[in-house]
Structure formats: C-alpha cells, structure tokens
Structure 1
Amino acid sequence: MSARDEILARIRAARPTGSVPVPRDYETDPPAGDLIELLVDRLVDYRATVRRCAPDELAGALAGLLDGVPEVAVPSGLPGGWLAAYPGRVRRDGDPDPLAVTELDAPGLAVVSGCAVAVAQTGTLILDAGPEQGRRLLTLVPDHHVCVVRAEQIVAGVPQALRRLADPTRPLTMIAGPSATSDIELNRVEGVHGPRRLDVLLVG
C-alpha cells in the first residue's frame, strides 16, 4: 500500500457513517448598548464615512453626499424618491439594458444602493441582490459606493443577520468599509477589489 492509499484509507475509516449533530445554540442575546452606535463605531474604524438622518431627510442627505458627482448608477428597484434632490444624471441598471462594466467603471460615477441587513458587532453590510441592491457587479465596480441602511435593518450578530435574509442561497456581498488589502509589510491599499470610498447613510 502506498502512503497515499494509507492516508485515504484512514480518512475513510474516520469518516462518520451516520448523521452528526451540529450545535445551533449560537449567541442570540444582543450586546449591551445601542446597536446603531456600535455599527457606526465599527464602520468608522474600517474607514467608512457614516452619516445619520431622519427618514424625511433622506433625499437631501443623499444629495449632500453626492455633491459634485455628475452621475450615479442605481439598482432597478431603488425607490425614486431617494434621489429626488440629486441634480445629476441617474442611470438605472436594466433600464432598458444592464450597465456594462466599462460604464460602471467610468471616472466620477458613484453607485447608490440599499442593503438587506447590517451587523453591528462586525460592522458588516450584507447585500443579497434584492431590488434595492441589484447585481453584485453594480456595487463592486464603481469607485464610490453610497449605501443606505435603515435603523430597523441593524441586528447584533451574524446568526441574527442570516435569519433576516429572505433567501440565504442568493448571492451575498458582505461589506465592511472600503475595499482594502495589505501586503506582507502591512502597507494598506484601498480600492483594489471594490469601491475605494464607502459612504453609509443611516436612516432613523
């Protein structure tokens, strides 16, 4: 018997033949304190810009964040009222055709989206390709992403977030600050795998 065969034989012998119970008693109690403040603290630590506004101030707050941005791309299901105060050009993905990568990568273009749920403990925004979020491509290619998060979408931890998703099998994008990477000398570079700038607008 070769070494390879011996290793594989041991793996097969160790493999359970019946079902294996998996513990599901995850921590469900929310952390002490305000979930919104915890989320803000995490996002700012990840170098995202965070602003807060009341629901009736959403359009004006978005227009302020997009000041100087000539055009924005938005998912097909983004509420029209969100950008009612924005004077620039709004390009709706899929109206009539999906925006091409070259269009999404155009200088000066920003993307505005909602999110499915936000995790306070990890500072993570989860997008599940819903109507207010659109295709993954839409929020990964442009250099500037503005994400709207409603207060009721914020949960304490990942288990609670997964239970909030309408369909966990849909493609998920998990965002924790601007896209960044570090080399072996810990030199941080932003914008390598996604938007270089992330603005989060907390509503509520």
Structure 2
Amino acid sequence: VGCTGLVERLKSPPLCVKEEERLSSLCGSQPEAECSIEMDAKSVLESCKGQGLHGLTNCSILSDKAAPPQPPDPPSVRLTREQLLPPTPSVFLENKKDAFSPQLQEFCLKHPIAVVRGLAAALKLDLGLFSTKTLVEANPDHTIEVRTQVQQTSDENWDPQFPGKRVWACISHRSHTTIAKYAQYQASSFQDSLKEERDRAA
C-alpha cells in the first residue's frame, strides 16, 4: 500500500462510525412513531411498521421529547395501621365433610392468604408420622434444605450484615443438611430452651 493510500485510509472514518451515522440519519429522517405505555402489543407493531432498518425499529419507542415515566401520586387518604395490617381470614373445620366442601374451596380462592384450622383432626391424620423421630428412623440421611433468616416483625426488614439498617431486599441464605443432623440440632435447641427456663425460674 502506498503512502497516499495509507493517508486516505487514516482520514476515512471507521466503519462503526459510518454505520452509527447512517442509523442516526435513518431514525431522524423518518416520522416519529406515536407510542405510549398504554398501547397494547398490536397497536405498537402497527405504529412502528416501516420504521428503522428493514421494518425493524432501531430507536426507542418512547419519544425523546416526552417526560420520563413517573410513579402515581400517593393516595390522599392516609391508611391506619389496622387498615395496613388487616387480620388474616381463618376458618375452623369440624369434620371431613367440611374439608371437602365447595364452600371451603371458595373461601380459599377468595382470600389470597387464609388460615384453615382443624384440618388434621377433621381428616384424622396421624401427625406422629411426620415427627422428627419418625423421619430419622425412616431415612436419616435424606437431604433437607435449610434457610437462615433473621427473626423480625412482619412490618420490619433489617440488614443482617449491618444491624440497625433497614433494607428492602429480603435475604434468605440456603444450605443443606440431613434429617439426622437436623434432629441433633433440634434436640440441642430444646435442651438450651429448658436450661434458660430453669435459670429464669431460679
């Protein structure tokens, strides 16, 4: 390559710059599509048809002249603590018929969170089959998942790494153990609780 050709190559802009300029001119020369966040998918496709390169838009669907989206205004009426923390709906079952009734199904579907009491007694379930002792005897090496969480009230969320600091993120560290090891942990925790009660009584 001669010196003249080399100089001409150095003078010419890189290909990426040329492509960027071409796309910028393409977006600028076409009429801006009128879009809003209230539009459905079909309306957005119709509005953007023919825009950009090969009919596919390379520009933002929101206008550069429009203001950025903003959260809605807070409600004018300030809710009380009782309104923000309403009581959890609960129902008590007396027999097996109540447990399989359509009324119970409707109750659970109507409330996102509900407490059903007396279910084990109504179905005559032997809860002893689910005790730690029975599970250890059946399969002591079975793997179980352990979640480490911070004990706190329902309307608080504290940072475990920085005590005294409230955060939005709810961190739940996961680990694994066996049923046999969990039984040892449960027994030692129970012994510690008994010791604390004896110390308080003394």
Structure (1 or 2) with the greater strand fraction: 1
What is the TM-score normalised by the length of structure 1?
0.24
Higher relative contact order structure (alpha carbons within 8 Å, sequence separation ≥ 6): 1
> What's the TM-score, normalizing by structure 2?
0.24
Structure having the higher Rg = 2
